[in-house]
Structure 1
Amino acid sequence: MALFHVQGVPIGGVAIMLALLASMGGFIFGYDTGQISDILLMDDFKLRFAQCSSPGDVNSCEFSDVRSGLIVSLLSIGTLIGALIGAPTADFLGRRHAMAAECLVFIVGVIIQVTSMSQWAQFAVGRLISGFGVGALSAAVPMYQAETAPPQIRGSLTATYQLFITFGILVAYCISIGTREMSGSGSWRTVVAIGIIWALVLGIGILFMPESPRWLAAHNYLEEAKESLARSRGVSKADARTDRFIIREAEQMRSNAQKEAQMKGGWLDCFKGQNKTRYRTLLGMALQSFQQLTGANYFFYYGATVFQSVGIHDSFVTQIILGAVNFFCTFGGIYVMEKFGRRVPLIVGGLWQSAWLFVFAAAGTAKVPEDNPNIGKLMIVAACMFILGYAMTWAPGVWILVGETFPTRTRAKQGALATASNWLWNFLLAFFTPFIINSINFSYGFVFAGCNLAGAIVVYFFLYESSDLTLESVNDMYTDPTCKPWTSRKWAPEGFASREEFARYRDAQEKEKDVDVKARQSHAESEGTAVEGHGVGDKETLVHQENVKW
């Protein structure tokens, strides 16, 4: 049964559940990202792993730039490798089983970190191994959500991945401030070990969700694809085999998969010019790179250290403020991406973020923040306003685009390449930020301000508007030679005057389906027969039979 309706279209509760559960992959990523900033400042962690001039005196312990950079950034190297491995894994095992296996890898990494005693390299290697799982999940989750979600709410459901990233960061901050006063290693081991819980929730729970119908259709499991579609569309299992709209959608997926199966979908195919495949691969990689170059992780990885340097005594509290702004504004981001599409929010967001980073950098370089409390407060406000814009635009928008921009044949591999670009820049920024800060201090903000402007320009000239379209229609739009990125909002599938007309047509079909199902159920009850007694044959024959009958 449908849980609720969107524009008159029934949406199954399973569609919401699978999106939320799969988004635990984002929560794991966010939690791992958020915890390290505060862990680096915990006394026991510094005594064990930092370089101390007076053993036992925490005030004499400091991390070198190389050591802190490696502890923070090796997670990103792991995620980069994991993202590339995640593509063939998701194609071979299926989206669900791949995610379950990747959670197990993450848990192994956490255990290695928790059992570290005095060797910082062991802790760093544990983060590297955890990164393998996080990276593979970052490739599989948006793809699974986009392939399974109903088109009417695909943007919102895919954006929950970013929402859960921000939630994970906020939870990590809150747990860290609660454990920092614990004696001994419990202060940091507790924070790290709790990550196992999140991985178990996803790894076990995802096995109870339906597999991606597009993956099933591509592997000739057509009946299972119909059942998967039915569960997310709010159609009963009994009606899955006879519902003509479920049959039509499954047949469309199978037909599309058969066409693409005739061509090999290897890594090199991601860079072929046919059907703008290379164009989309490079675009996805560029967008993911610019998401990192916005400067968001400058605050998430090193925020506690940054705000200590502007005179904030309890930087843990400041981190929670930033995390809360990031999390709650992402709810607005889900609305923005659904209401205004993809292009406009990313362009406006790039300009907004650039402006506030300029304020942040200008304030920090104009006067010494430690000696001017008002400057420090202005910098915190600028950081919060930057996070507000990021959370509502670039943060959810790029992950949505990774799920809906690429063709089915190479979607997994293109998504992996795009995500790997994110992790590559994540590593570079995490590792080199301590060195850059020591060299140019808050002028670093000017670099990020310029990158945000560049990102907005790339979106305007190269990104096509993909909202309100099925994944198959998005592919048609990119391959239409008459469509340009700046005119793509007006593009509509063949036979329709506008995208709105296409949406109304699709909504009408869904309403007809809902009425049709109720009519057949009512007829079956009056006749005392089972609806599922109909044979499933050729699509056109079935539709004809039902039209004649009703």
Structure 2
Amino acid sequence: MEEIIENGEEQKRGNQLAAKSRVKMNKYALACALLASTNSILLGYDIGVISGAVLYIREDLKISSIQEEILVGSLNVCSLLGSLLSGKTSDLIGRRYTIVLAATTFFIGAILMGLAPSYPYLMAGRVIAGIGVGYSLMIAPLYTAEISPAMTRGFMSSLPEVFITIGILLGYIVNYAFAGIPKNWNWRVMLLLAAVPAVGIGMGVFVMPESPRWLVMKKRLSEAKRVLVKTSETEEEAEARLGEITRAWELHESSDFAGKSVWKELFWKPTPAIRRILVAAIGINFFMQASGNDAVIYYLPEVFHGAGIKKKKQLFAINVIMGTAKATFVMISALFLDKYGRRPLLLLGSSGMAIALSILGLGSMFLQHSAHKPSWAIVMCVIAVCADVSFFSIGLGPITWVYSSEIFPLRLRAQGTSLAVSVNRLVSGVVSMTFLTITKKITFGGIFFALSGIMVIATVFFFFFMPETKGKSLEDIGKLFEDKKTVDEGVEISEI
């Protein structure tokens, strides 16, 4: 009983320390989060640049629409492999070197894509780059969540999505800038430029510290404390955070699951709390990609080409407008995540997407049956697309990575997050590789209405299954997924 009281008092002191520093952004932790999150720019750049490059690849290599779908979606499907491997890899070699591995793999893929003499070589580059993307999508938010103080973790953990969005915008700008050079070179330059940030990221990561929670797992407590001192406002706060992390890990080592496979703990008789965490993590990652956001970005030139805009420069200009809107709103969301919380922004984003997609469906159907393609209808579709990606950037975009990286307990975090991100990649690949085929069956208008319906279901799911995690330490978040009775009993014990 005395031990329980002592732990409760220590936890209370830690919470008080965190509250004192809630308005301050630790500059060292922010620098580490920024460095790790730049890894995500690789995926964003590929999403943005391939949407324009594929128009020239189709003409240069004479590929069919099915080959185009496979080319675009293959990176997402292959990133599934990287996502599945990333959990075990990051537990073995550490979070920091996994980021280096992600950047290196993507660099090799980018070189192969840019120099590809034929479609099979281009596909080989997409496969390798996809594995690198899978690693980066899991490890960037995970590392950021583990190194961030609780009161600013929402902002810092949303930085990967900020950099994905910046990457998309850069891809659009590169499309626009190189559209005028010879057709057999422009798409190669567009794809080769992806290797430049990969080099910078791989080198920059070497100045980052290792995650303090991974160091605790490896019993390197003195190193963990040094990192926590740098990412905390005071040494007292660092001591409290170290004690909390250490107790959580020691509790796991003394549990029945200690020494057993993480996958067994996740799937073989998981506790009710772990089961709820799995449903929440897999659910939000599923709906992130089932929303069709990636497919809309990939095939937006195709959508507006069908709407009557034939010039590639004009198509790329619309992409730049959309990318600017997306980048603006993801930054706004990142800044307000720790103030307003995850749930309000998530619900606002998903409901806004449902409305925007229904308007886009109406506009697309009108243009499809209109011989004259009136300007007002095209403008309405452009505004609806910008609204769709903006609401995505307010809610699902950044918050999916925040939730995925923070709700799993330490012992399950790396592989649990990799599982959730694998679902993300699988759904993204399926949607990207079937989008054009489905639109031929039910039209662009039909598919946008279907996506709107999916977002209505997503909003209901988020309302019932996603608790608020704002301001809580990673070690405390698991309690949100426990039975109310269990939580109430815990409160009563701590108050004795």
Q: 2:423 aligns with which of 421, 443, 456?
A: 421
Q: Where does residue 3 of structure 2 map in the other structure?
A: none
Q: Where does residue 232 of structure 2 map in the other structure?
A: 233
Kindly provide the CA deviation profile for residues 187-239 of structure 1, in whole angstroms up to 9, marking residues without a partner as x: 1121111111111222111111111100001110000001111122256xxxx
Is the 1:266–1:410 contact (alpha carbons within 8 Å) kept by the matching residues of 2? yes
Could you tell me how far apart the structure 2 residues matched to 1:494 and 1:395 are?
39
Q: 2:305 aligns with which of 305, 308, 321?
A: 308
* Aligned pairs (5 A) from 1:192-203: 192-203=191-202
Identity %: 25
Kindly provide the CA deviation profile for residues 153-180 of structure 1, in whole angstroms up to 9, marking residues without a partner as x: 1000111111111000000100111111
Q: 2:296 aligns with which of 296, 299, 302?
A: 299
Q: CA deviation at 1:257?
A: 1.3
Is 2:274 the partner of 1:277?
yes
Q: Where does residue 463 of structure 1 map in the other structure?
A: 466
Could you tell me how far apart the structure 1 residues matched to 2:486 and 2:345 are?
20
* Aligned pairs (5 A) from 1:325-364: 325-364=325-364
Q: Where does residue 13 of structure 1 map in the other structure?
A: 27
Could you tell me how far apart the structure 2 residues matched to 1:233 and 1:27 are?
27
* Aligned pairs (5 A) from 1:473-512: 473-482=476-485
Q: How many residues align?
A: 465
Q: CA deviation at 1:475?
A: 1.3
Is the 1:173–1:316 contact (alpha carbons within 8 Å) kept by the matching residues of 2? yes
Q: Where does residue 104 of structure 1 map in the other structure?
A: 104
Could you tell me how far apart the structure 1 residues matched to 2:337 and 2:44 are?
21
Is the 1:370–1:376 contact (alpha carbons within 8 Å) kept by the matching residues of 2? no
Amino acid at match of 1:306: V
Is the 1:79–1:132 contact (alpha carbons within 8 Å) kept by the matching residues of 2? yes
Q: Where does residue 537 of structure 1 map in the other structure?
A: none
Kindly provide the CA deviation profile for residues 259-301 of structure 1, in whole angstroms up to 9, marking residues without a partner as x: 2234235213222431521221122111101011122112211
Q: CA deviation at 1:407?
A: 0.8
Q: Where does residue 450 of structure 1 map in the other structure?
A: 453
Q: Where does residue 70 of structure 1 map in the other structure?
A: 70
Q: CA deviation at 1:464?
A: 1.3
State the SS of the aligned residue for 1:281: helix
1:483–1:301 CA distance, 2 compared to 1 (3 A): farther
* Aligned pairs (5 A) from 1:201-216: 201-216=200-215
Root-mean-square deviation (CA, aligned residues, Å) is 2.2
Could you tell me how far apart the structure 1 residues matched to 2:430 and 2:321 are?
26
Q: Which is richer in helix?
A: 2
Is the 1:11–1:234 contact (alpha carbons within 8 Å) kept by the matching residues of 2? no
Could you tell me how far apart the structure 2 residues matched to 1:108 and 1:7 are?
42
Is 2:248 the partner of 1:256?
yes
Kindly provide the CA deviation profile for residues 403-443 of structure 1, in whole angstroms up to 9, marking residues without a partner as x: 11111111111101110111111101111011011111121
1:399–1:371 CA distance, 2 compared to 1 (3 A): same
Amino acid at match of 2:417: G
1:300–1:406 CA distance, 2 compared to 1 (3 A): same
State the SS of the aligned residue for 2:55: coil
Is the 2:109–2:126 contact (alpha carbons within 8 Å) kept by the matching residues of 1? yes
Amino acid at match of 2:278: T
Is the 1:152–1:468 contact (alpha carbons within 8 Å) kept by the matching residues of 2? yes
Report which stretch shifted further, 215-224 or 305-314.
305-314
Q: Where does residue 245 of structure 1 map in the other structure?
A: 237
Could you tell me how far apart the structure 1 residues matched to 2:480 and 2:464 are?
15
Could you tell me how far apart the structure 2 residues matched to 1:197 and 1:331 are?
24
Amino acid at match of 1:29: L
Q: Where does residue 505 of structure 1 map in the other structure?
A: none
Could you tell me how far apart the structure 2 residues matched to 1:11 and 1:365 are?
48
Q: CA deviation at 1:335?
A: 3.0
Q: 1:389 aligns with which of 385, 388, 391?
A: 391
Q: CA deviation at 1:340?
A: 1.9
1:352–1:245 CA distance, 2 compared to 1 (3 A): closer
Could you tell me how far apart the structure 1 residues matched to 2:177 and 2:54 are?
15
Report which stretch shifted further, 210-219 or 268-277.
268-277
Unaligned runs of 5+ in 2: 1-18
Could you tell me how far apart the structure 2 residues matched to 1:213 and 1:125 are?
37
State the SS of the aligned residue for 1:312: coil
Amino acid at match of 1:221: R
TM-score if structure 1 supplies the norm length?
A: 0.81
1:137–1:447 CA distance, 2 compared to 1 (3 A): same
Could you tell me how far apart the structure 1 residues matched to 2:142 and 2:371 are?
46
Could you tell me how far apart the structure 2 residues matched to 1:370 and 1:340 are?
47
Q: Where does residue 535 of structure 1 map in the other structure?
A: none
1:337–1:8 CA distance, 2 compared to 1 (3 A): closer
Q: Where does residue 6 of structure 2 map in the other structure?
A: none
Q: CA deviation at 1:258?
A: 2.1
Could you tell me how far apart the structure 2 residues matched to 1:36 and 1:370 are?
30
Q: Which has the higher Rg, Structure 1 or Structure 2?
A: 1
Could you tell me how far apart the structure 2 residues matched to 1:483 and 1:295 are?
38
Amino acid at match of 2:466: L
Could you tell me how far apart the structure 2 residues matched to 1:8 and 1:86 are?
32
Is the 2:343–2:467 contact (alpha carbons within 8 Å) kept by the matching residues of 1? yes
Q: CA deviation at 1:86?
A: 0.6
Q: CA deviation at 1:492?
A: 8.8
State the SS of the aligned residue for 1:145: helix
Kindly provide the CA deviation profile for residues 298-328 of structure 1, in whole angstroms up to 9, marking residues without a partner as x: 2211011111111223211111111111011
Is the 1:78–1:132 contact (alpha carbons within 8 Å) kept by the matching residues of 2? yes
Is 2:418 the partner of 1:406?
no
Q: CA deviation at 1:367?
A: 4.4
Is the 1:179–1:186 contact (alpha carbons within 8 Å) kept by the matching residues of 2? no
Could you tell me how far apart the structure 2 residues matched to 1:338 and 1:92 are?
32
Could you tell me how far apart the structure 2 residues matched to 1:354 and 1:30 are?
23
Report which stretch shifted further, 280-289 or 211-220.
280-289
If asked which structure has higher relative contact order (CA below 8 Å, sep 6+), I would say 2
Could you tell me how far apart the structure 2 residues matched to 1:268 and 1:456 are?
31
Is the 2:77–2:430 contact (alpha carbons within 8 Å) kept by the matching residues of 1? no
Unaligned runs of 5+ in 1: 51-62, 236-242, 497-550
Q: CA deviation at 1:479?
A: 2.2
Q: CA deviation at 1:47?
A: 3.9
Is the 1:363–1:375 contact (alpha carbons within 8 Å) kept by the matching residues of 2? yes
* Aligned pairs (5 A) from 1:117-196: 117=117, 119-196=118-195
Q: CA deviation at 1:247?
A: 2.2
